[in-house]
Structure 1
Amino acid sequence: MPRPTSPILSADRIADAAIELVDAGKPFGVNALARELGVTPSSLYNHVDGRDAIVELMRGRLAVRSAIEVPDGLTWHGVVEYVVRAQRSMFAEHPLVLPLLVGKPVTDVTVLGYYEALAEALLSAGFPDEEVLVIVAVLDAFALGSGLDLSAPPQVWQAEPGTALGRLVAGGEPGGIRADKAFDLGVDLLIASLRVRLDAMREAKSG
């Protein structure tokens, strides 16, 4: 029997199948993924070291599929907004994948690339070394939470009638409309607060 002209498995195929498996709410693991791909676990281990390696393939594949690549020439706050919006969009499409990603260190070069662009932009703006990683973590948490918010029920709060929250919920906009407005306001607030912080640091140095 002739050998296939191309390998049955590839990193992209493994990652795509793993994402599809998790998105469908099915149990995730090497054996489950091997069944999904129609191969033996040993064949899968010829391409990946194990479950953690598959998760990292998924992380990188999501970033590639979402085409997250920071454009040249953006201001520091332009980079912040681009990365947060791109991450939110990516996370919103795959909420069940998120718990897997947050529990593992980031090693994928594509993902590290946009984090590097974010760090460089903040450093170039004048934020001190000791604050940049903290700011990146804040932005990350906001993007993650905002992505999950898009998969929330149309009415998140089931408040009692007659309460302040109940009145606001009854008159508010549901689901994605509220989530989009919350995200846009959050982006504006984050960037505005970072501007204020940066201006205060500059004033302190010049004084």
Structure 2
Amino acid sequence: MARPKVPLLSADRIADAAIELVDSGDGFGVNALARRLGVTPSSLYNHVDGRDGIIELMRGRLGARYLAELPSGAWDDVVIRTMRGMRRLYAEHPNVVPLLVGKTITDDTVIASYDALATALVDGGFPEEEVLAVVAVLDSFALGFGLDLASPDEIWQPQGETQSLGRLVADAERGRPRSDHAFELGLELLIDSLRLRLARAEEASERR
């Protein structure tokens, strides 16, 4: 039999199949992925370093879809664009999140995105000793609001009398509009607080 012109497996094909598998809600593992691809587990091991290697392939593939276009410019513009991209990633692939957060990030594309964010903050004047903490806060914000999109339309449903919550819920947006509004408001609050913190840091530096 002639050898196929296109290899049966590639990093991209493995990553795409793994993402589809996890998105479907089926159990994730090397054996399950091999079955989905129609190959033996040993064939996968010729391309990836086990389960962790597959997770990092998924991270890289998703990073290429959502984070490859590195933002530039003022630090606040970089933060806003990065947060929106990260939120889309988490929102559209919520089942992948537990796998991604449980493994150290090594993928070049995703590292480059975090590097661009950290560099924008450093260049913007934020104290270097705080930048990684700020990045962690921003990452958690995007992660939380990405998962928020998977929430039911009715988040609060009081069963008894309330002072304010019941009235507010009755008049509030639901579903995607609610989540989008809350995300943009939260992003605005984050940017405002970071600007205030930056101003305080600059004032402290001038007094030294």
TM-score if structure 1 supplies the norm length?
0.97
CA 119–67 in structure 1, closer or farther in 2 if over 3 Å, else same: closer
The whole-number CA distance in structure 1 between the counterparts of 2:142 and 2:189 is 13
Any unmatched runs of 5+ in structure 1?
none
The whole-number CA distance in structure 2 between the counterparts of 1:135 and 1:18 is 31
* Residue correspondence of structure 1 range 42-57 to structure 2 within 5 A: 42-57=42-57
* Residue correspondence of structure 1 range 1-207 to structure 2 within 5 A: 1-72=1-72, 74-163=73-162, 164-207=164-207
Q: CA deviation at 1:71?
A: 3.1
| 3-state secondary structure, aligned to 1:140 | helix
Residues 144-184 of structure 1: CA distance to partner in whole angstroms, max 9, x if unpaired?
00000111100111223431212211111111111001000
The whole-number CA distance in structure 2 between the counterparts of 1:10 and 1:196 is 48
Any unmatched runs of 5+ in structure 2?
none
Residues 2-28 of structure 1: CA distance to partner in whole angstroms, max 9, x if unpaired?
111221000000000000001000000
Aligned AA (2:182): A
Query: Alignment RMSD, CA only?
Result: 1.0
- How much identity, in percent, do the aligned residues show? 63
Q: CA deviation at 1:67?
A: 5.0
Q: CA deviation at 1:68?
A: 3.3
User: 1:161·1:167 contact (CA, 8 Å) conserved in 2?
Assistant: no
| 3-state secondary structure, aligned to 1:20 | helix
The whole-number CA distance in structure 2 between the counterparts of 1:143 and 1:181 is 14
User: Which deviates more, 58-67 or 11-20?
Assistant: 58-67
The whole-number CA distance in structure 1 between the counterparts of 2:202 and 2:81 is 25
The whole-number CA distance in structure 2 between the counterparts of 1:11 and 1:96 is 20
Aligned AA (2:26): K
TM-score if structure 2 supplies the norm length?
0.96
The whole-number CA distance in structure 2 between the counterparts of 1:65 and 1:116 is 17
Q: CA deviation at 1:38?
A: 0.2
Residues 113-164 of structure 1: CA distance to partner in whole angstroms, max 9, x if unpaired?
1100001000011111210000000000000000001111001112234312
Q: CA deviation at 1:196?
A: 0.3
| 3-state secondary structure, aligned to 1:97 | helix
User: 1:68·1:86 contact (CA, 8 Å) conserved in 2?
Assistant: no
